[in-house]
Amino acid sequence: MTMSGPIPTRTLGAEQLKVGAVGYGAMSFADIYGQSGYDKDESARAILHRAATLGVTLVDTADVYGPSEEILGRALHGHREDFVVATKFGIRNPPEPNVPPKIDGSRSYMRRQLEQSLRRLGTDHIDLYYAHRIDPDTPIEDTVGWMAELVEEGKVRHLGLSEAAADTLRRASRIHPITAVQTEWSLWQRRIEDEVLPTARELGIAIVPWSPLGHGALTATITSREDLPETDGRRKVPYFSAEHFDANQATLATVRRIAAEVGADPGQVALAWLLHQGDDIVPIPGTRRERYLEQNAAAAFVTLSLAQLAELDTIRIQGAHHEGMGAIPNWYDGVTPPRDPAPSN
């Protein structure tokens, strides 16, 4: 399916942050999928130029995504007002190989990382600033309170949390409005639906799904593990393990058939399924190619019937979590210790 004009807009959170119905995730510039041999600056400029014409206005990155912020900063030069820029703090890269990353939601770390993100992005404010993971040692009330200081100072416009448990969202919202919660959600990953989704909706928090295409699998272009280079990080994702690959690939037959029925690509059907879950959802698929950006944006115009949605709802896969990452405290469904009560006078 193609498109002839800009995509519809949606609003994130009770503060009504207006963005295109499909956003853009810039983690691709961290080269986690083993890319090489391309001009990152040229790719980013082309992507953002086309995104602006398509109405893809939410651009999402993070301080931990390698050179992504700097690349986006150069591409945004002269076009900053065309986009809603989101970035994140809170994951400290390990100092050496085979050491897990550390989650840090402290005030000093947040402030240091924000200043670096502002410099790299070439801007004086972040539109949507996320805690990338929830610090298991710091009460969420403290982390969000420190983030709220940035709003008061004008350096940040809206606050978000990534991979937060339902109770964490509730506690955070008592301190400051939370505009969005970012979490993995797709036809291949459904854990948000039990608790986080209903809680977010109760609190007026929008959902920004990352990896809405199942790390590219839902585009139905990966037909063999051999399609993944040895340096491709997806080889460590259980979706793609030798144990689960064939069984998970079988679920794509349903996606392909429905795509043929509606005249769309499989990836567009996967994104349309998410968009049909509610107007409070803005997925952020990533790519380095304009034509894939265009395909992703066109998903906003794909209509699925109730029967097709119900059939897609039945898809279940094996090996849904990242290998090893689930063992890191708070990598998913982050919780925090309670805040100490204020001392009585």
Would strands 24-25 and 58-60 be described as parallel, antiparallel, or unpaired? Answer: parallel
Q: How many CB atoms lie within 10 A of CB 70?
A: 18
- Does 336 map to a domain? no
| The pLDDT value given to residue 37 | 54
- Does 340 map to a domain? no
Overall domain count for the chain: 1
Q: Which helix (H) or strand (E) holds 182?
A: strand 180-184
| The pLDDT value given to residue 297 | 98
- Supply the range of the domain harboring residue 119: 9-327
Q: What is the pTM of this model?
A: 0.93
Q: Which of 24, 33, 65, 129 is catalytic?
A: 65
- CATH number of the domain to which 149 belongs: 3.20.20.100
Per-residue pLDDT of the chain (345 residues; tens, 9 = 90+): 666 679 999 999 999 999 999 999 999 887 665 455 568 899 999 999 999 999 999 999 999 998 999 999 999 999 999 999 999 999 998 777 778 889 999 999 999 999 999 999 999 999 999 999 999 999 999 999 999 999 999 999 999 999 999 999 999 999 999 999 999 999 999 999 999 999 999 999 999 999 999 888 899 888 777 777 777 777 777 788 778 888 888 889 999 999 999 999 999 999 999 999 999 999 999 998 999 999 999 999 999 999 999 999 999 988 766 655 666 888 899 999 998 765 444
| The pLDDT value given to residue 321 | 65
- Does 296 map to a domain? yes
| The pLDDT value given to residue 240 | 81
- Does 343 map to a domain? no
- Does 265 map to a domain? yes
Give the DSSP letter string of 245-284.
HHHHHHTHHHHHHHHHHHT--HHHHHHHHHHTT-TTB---
- Does 248 map to a domain? yes
Rounded to 10 deg, the angle between the 166-173 and 196-203 helix axes is 20
| The pLDDT value given to residue 325 | 66
- Does 339 map to a domain? no
Q: Is 332 one of the annotated active-site residues of the chain? A: no
- Does 338 map to a domain? no
In the block, which residue shows the tokens 């994702």? 237
